[in-house]
Structure 1
Amino acid sequence: MTTSETRQDGPSWSDPERIERYRSRVFAERARLRAAFADPAGHQQRVLEDLLAFNADTAYGRAHGFAQVRTLDDWRKAVPVQDYSALAPWIERAAAGEDNVLTADKPAVFFTSSGSTGAHKKIPVTPQFMRTTFFPFYYAAWAPLIEHFPDVLARPDAVLNLKHDPIAAPPTTASGKPHVGASQVDFGAKFGEPLSAEPGTSAPWATLPVPVAADAHLEKMYLRLRLAVESDVRCVIGINPAMVAALPHQLNLWWERIVQEVRDGTLGGHPYRSPNPERARELDRLAAHFGRVRPAHVWPNMRALFCWTTGLASLYLPRLREEFGPGITLLPAPVAASEGPTGVALDRHPTAGSLVVTASVYEFADADTDLAPDVATLQPHELEPGRDYHTIFSHIGGLYRYAVGDVVRVVDREDSVPRLEYTGRNTLSNAAGERLRDAHVLRALTTALAAGGLELRNTACRVVHDQQGTPSYQFALASATPWSGDETDAFLTRLDRALAHESPGYQRARAQHRLGAPTALPLHPDAFLDDWHAAVATGVRPTQVKDRLFRQDPALWQRLTDGNGS
């Protein structure tokens, strides 16, 4: 989800008037979106008409005949389905400072996005996009949290916002525009939205009061955690669930340093405030009593977690939730990317969000179909529950028939629009014609684990070859408790069967002996957490170090197994 963090956009979260205005805006945007569901087709047509009228005289609009487009069929004929690489030459022109390339208004900032390759994209973000596409969905996304857990707004330090990462000197494009993560932009200052700051962005740790390098992300995470242990945190916002999963691990990794600094009143070795020996003694007692300290021990009034709840996270979040306390509610972050929104949860559904029909023109293609410029697409009303689809959107911000690279599953329909959950990237693993997607493997893993009563803290898979050159899939398995040999063998048999059920290509490849049976590589329970920390330690922002299922990089597997094999 794209978000804003700022402490400079008007009254802080300690101001009751500001909180009430924020609540009113959030609920009003949700109500407007729900009202739009009465006529989704009409709103889709209006979005198309608005983007065409606004951007018809751009270089891209002239080259693709925007002025002659009237209907979605016209649109399909005028513009090909395209990914970032196809739009990159146009984006680079805009990033270099050329006006009127993709959009009539100038990009104010370019979002970074790691995508599936790790390469840093430049996503143009314009004022018109923010007003018409982004902010309505963005405010509505917080409605379930503040409706059902109003105490998260009671104090500035009630929310630990893990992704909040303001930056004083952002990197820029050739034209001098900021090229940063969405969570590093002050939307209040940049786009004139005085209410855009998220919960938790006026906490004492929101802007760190001691010097720390911009790319010292682990140290910044430590400093925020050290400050947060002295507050009554009620909610954790992570968006990227890997960041939420890392928090219990970090508490124990840094525990002695945290307690000592609380006792001394220091922060990162710098004088900060008066020593707090009483809180230090409380923390010492927790460690003495429980041994392994959990977030639930430090923050007994924790109420909710806000992050993506699908994909690989669906395997570990149920158990991870217990680390934060009994009765914790998991609220799903929107189905969205830096490029734009797709779905937003307007209630407490655990995984799915309603299509944001007012934000973009949405098209979908069957997930088992290869995307191509002329791929046949479906409109929202043509989607079927229980099916997976590629997501393609067009919006006023300059992304036209853009294949964002995400695959979504239609859970059901609510108020006449589909509710969607993210199932993974559209990357195919295809060593022997099996054409496996994230969703195939995740559903197969879920089936195989449940049938044996087994759990995983995380997993990844790669293609390996035997001496005869036959490929097969090896699964790195980080489980909370060791599995017996019989359990592992039974799991692999069930996994093989479930993969064949999910993917006809896998079934054929196995039947024709072009693909071997899956194998297991047991790992230490913290293997993936340690690797996550190692990646962040290299200077990669934590929001961009995400769970990935298909991992072919030999260096990764060396890291996972070095000292971690069980």
Structure 2
Amino acid sequence: MTTDSAAARPTTPEPNSPSSAAGWAAPRHAERYSERVFAERARLTEALGDPRGHQHDVLTDLLDFNSGTEFGTRHDFGRIRDVDDFRKAVPVQDYAAHAPLIERMAAGEPNLLSADQPVVYFTSSGSTGAHKKIPVTPRFMRTTFFPFYYAAWAPLIENHPDVMRRPDAVLNLKHDPLSAPPTTSDGRPHVGASQVDFGRKFGEPLSAELGTAAPWGTLPVDIAPDDHLEKMYLRLRLAVQSDVRCLIGINPAMIAAVPYQLGLWWERIVKEVRDGTVGGVPHGAPDPARAAELTRLADYFGTVTPAQVWPRMSALFGWTTGVASLYLPALCERFGAGVAALPAPVAASEGPVGVPLDRHGSAGSLVVTASVYEFVDADADLTPDVETLLPHELEAGREYHVIFSHVGGLYRYAVGDVVRVVDMAGGVPRLAYAGRANRSDAVGERLRESQVVRAVRTALDATGLGLVNIACRTERTSRENAPHYVFAVAPQSPWQPAEADRFTSLLDAALTRESADYARARTDRRLAAPALCLLDRDAFQRDWHAAVATGIRPTQVKDRLFRQDTTLWHRLLGTA
């Protein structure tokens, strides 16, 4: 997108810029929010008509804006004219390659990766949980982040308008504001994106997400910043007294935890509703009528589900692919008949990749105005000089590593995600998240997450079985025996021994079809037949709670298919 340099040049927000969540109380806020959301979607949709032109404009803009930085000078940005020049001048690189300059930025040194000074640093929510520092500049937010961020909500508010009618119609599970956030050495906040008030930091009061102005948006009792389980309890406690229509989780493991948490905390919730307390502190009026209604539900149904607590629930908003695709249909039923699972954007803390512009259940269109995108076949190894493909060169049905460059200061950045091209429309790919780029590779089988997920789906479909969640690892029973995969499965309902054996055999066969490397490893007897370990229904939820109890933010405790860490594996199995 060609931009007017003066108009696009970001401004520093005033110190008294309004809080985003508070903006929902302003006159016409909901109307203005809808207008902004649909306008950004319209602009992104229009941009899909000229993807190559917009990709060239993005490259030109980031080169011009950052040519005088240390990175730009080092790589001679002033001489780069097109993407081929750019690929020759800059190697493919990951966070570790950017880290030395990022650390200097975080110490207050200017003009290193971006001509803009970062306002905050996003923490990574990647597979390792490591706290990377992702610099977030005003220019990045204005040109790269906000357009896709607003547009992402269009399918939800267009097709589920009830979520806009009251502040408490949405339970936003990821909203986690901090009054005293951790900072980098130069005093900039170092937090998750869901912990940043974009109104105050970037002068964008319309940016507050749905549900952030609900009674639980700001908790009425003081809680330690890392006591995430208590925060989750308090939000549920308050939400059972509202007519919630939608849950926003992004990370589907957070949404999957809600039915378990209702059962886990039920007696405490009902007592506090009856007494008019929140976390043991008086808050609002006692509500014996609602408490009695909740008690009747529990007595009648035995196990209370979200569908009974919130009978008008219509949508869940989060990632719908990867491991979650195996359990989401059954999970949606626990929230109510006809509840829709709407996909969140294909994005990372470092930047956007795809955004759903319609009701497709998993894929989003490439955000051609946000970054310069390159791709590498998912089976290839990422090296600094690896050959890359441009968006129009991708093929439907194939999977690719994602590499992007944007004005915020990340260049040819291998984000560590693999995407699947669902289809190509007008030369623009629609992309679904396929999994992290890490592989399980004990003896050269080089299995990717998406291959295992598809194989599991094949075995489930063939047997008619269902699961709550699944994880796997390789084990070796002795030095003389070949290692084998062990799959830990929490079934939706008990599996009979014959069913479990058939599932395991079908899974092995499906893996050989998905991965030539796995097939060779099995044929050469470097890899033995897989084994199955059946867990109880709540095993993964207990494990998720155990991880959150260590102080990890819930947004970062994601479904983990490959679990080679022995301690964490035994925690999941309950044998630690």
Amino acid at match of 1:45: H
Q: Distance in 1 between matches of 2:551 and 2:128?
A: 17
Q: Does 1:501 align with 2:524?
A: no
User: Which of 529, 535, 542 is the matching residue for 1:523?
Assistant: 535
| 2:395–2:424 contact (8 Å) kept in structure 1 | no
Secondary structure of 1:223's counterpart equals helix
Q: Distance in 2 between matches of 1:224 and 1:149?
A: 22
User: Which of 337, 345, 354 is the matching residue for 1:334?
Assistant: 345
Q: Distance in 2 between matches of 1:420 and 1:531?
A: 31
| TM-score normalised to structure 2 length | 0.96
| Residue deviations 1:483-533 (CA, integer Å, cap 9, x gap) | 111111111111111101010000111111111111111111111100000
Amino acid at match of 1:485: P
Q: Does 1:322 align with 2:333?
A: yes
Q: Distance in 2 between matches of 1:118 and 1:34?
A: 34
User: Which of 504, 507, 511 is the matching residue for 1:492?
Assistant: 504
Q: Distance in 1 between matches of 2:327 and 2:140?
A: 35
- State the shift of 1:469 in Å: 4.0
- State the shift of 1:14 in Å: 4.5
| 2:23–2:208 contact (8 Å) kept in structure 1 | no
In structure 2, what is the equivalent of residue 422 of structure 1?
433
Q: Does 1:248 align with 2:259?
A: yes
In structure 2, what is the equivalent of residue 234 of structure 1?
245
In structure 2, what is the equivalent of residue 68 of structure 1?
79
| 2:40–2:151 contact (8 Å) kept in structure 1 | yes
Q: Distance in 1 between matches of 2:573 and 2:59?
A: 51
Q: Distance in 2 between matches of 1:237 and 1:114?
A: 17
| 2:423–2:429 contact (8 Å) kept in structure 1 | yes
Q: Distance in 1 between matches of 2:493 and 2:75?
A: 57
In structure 2, what is the equivalent of residue 456 of structure 1?
467
Q: Does 1:354 align with 2:365?
A: yes
Equivalent residues in 2 for 1:78-157 (5 A)?
78-157=89-168
| 1:13–1:153 contact (8 Å) kept in structure 2 | no
Q: Distance in 2 between matches of 1:489 and 1:92?
A: 52
User: Which of 428, 433, 445 is the matching residue for 2:444?
Assistant: 433
Amino acid at match of 2:324: A
- State the shift of 1:561 in Å: 2.0
User: Which of 140, 162, 172 is the matching residue for 2:183?
Assistant: 172
Q: 1:63 to 1:469 in 2, by over 3 A?
A: farther
| Residue deviations 1:359-392 (CA, integer Å, cap 9, x gap) | 0000000000000001110000000000000000
Q: Does 1:476 align with 2:488?
A: yes
| TM-score normalised to structure 1 length | 0.97
Q: Distance in 2 between matches of 1:562 and 1:366?
A: 38
Secondary structure of 1:514's counterpart equals coil
Amino acid at match of 2:524: Q
Q: Distance in 2 between matches of 1:414 and 1:347?
A: 14
User: Which of 361, 378, 381 is the matching residue for 1:370?
Assistant: 381
- State the shift of 1:110 in Å: 0.4
Q: Distance in 1 between matches of 2:192 and 2:149?
A: 16
Q: Does 1:207 align with 2:218?
A: yes
Which stretches in structure 2 are left out of the alignment for 5+ residues? 1-16
Secondary structure of 2:447's counterpart equals coil
- State the shift of 1:119 in Å: 1.3
| Residue deviations 1:18-50 (CA, integer Å, cap 9, x gap) | 111000000000000000011000000000000
Q: Distance in 2 between matches of 1:502 and 1:529?
A: 29
Amino acid at match of 1:313: A
Range that drifts further, 479-488 or 279-288: 479-488
In structure 2, what is the equivalent of residue 3 of structure 1?
none
Q: Distance in 2 between matches of 1:473 and 1:65?
A: 49
| 1:242–1:547 contact (8 Å) kept in structure 2 | yes
- State the shift of 1:10 in Å: 7.4
Q: Distance in 1 between matches of 2:276 and 2:75?
A: 62
| 1:14–1:155 contact (8 Å) kept in structure 2 | no
| Residue deviations 1:291-325 (CA, integer Å, cap 9, x gap) | 10000101111111100000100011000000100
Q: What is the number of residues matched between the two proteins?
A: 559
Identity in percent: 68
- State the shift of 1:414 in Å: 3.0
| Residue deviations 1:158-209 (CA, integer Å, cap 9, x gap) | 0000000000000011111100011000000000112000000100000001
Q: 1:7 to 1:491 in 2, by over 3 A?
A: farther
| Residue deviations 1:337-363 (CA, integer Å, cap 9, x gap) | 000000000000000000000000000
Q: 1:443 to 1:541 in 2, by over 3 A?
A: same
Amino acid at match of 2:458: T
Q: Distance in 2 between matches of 1:240 and 1:72?
A: 34
Amino acid at match of 1:493: S
In structure 2, what is the equivalent of residue 552 of structure 1?
564
Q: 1:23 to 1:415 in 2, by over 3 A?
A: farther
Q: Distance in 2 between matches of 1:10 and 1:477?
A: 40
CA RMSD in angstroms, aligned pairs only:
1.2
Amino acid at match of 1:388: E
In structure 2, what is the equivalent of residue 385 of structure 1?
396
Q: Distance in 2 between matches of 1:114 and 1:283?
A: 36
| 1:60–1:102 contact (8 Å) kept in structure 2 | yes
User: Which of 29, 38, 43 is the matching residue for 1:27?
Assistant: 38
Secondary structure of 1:195's counterpart equals helix
User: Which of 503, 507, 522 is the matching residue for 1:510?
Assistant: 522
User: Which of 50, 65, 68 is the matching residue for 1:54?
Assistant: 65
Q: Does 1:304 align with 2:315?
A: yes
| Residue deviations 1:430-472 (CA, integer Å, cap 9, x gap) | 1111110101111111111111111111111101013214111
Q: Distance in 1 between matches of 2:574 and 2:205?
A: 49
Q: Distance in 1 between matches of 2:557 and 2:18?
A: 25
Q: Distance in 1 between matches of 2:425 and 2:247?
A: 28
- State the shift of 1:429 in Å: 1.3
- State the shift of 1:417 in Å: 1.1
Q: 1:373 to 1:225 in 2, by over 3 A?
A: same
Q: Distance in 2 between matches of 1:455 and 1:81?
A: 41
Secondary structure of 1:224's counterpart equals helix
Q: Does 1:188 align with 2:202?
A: no
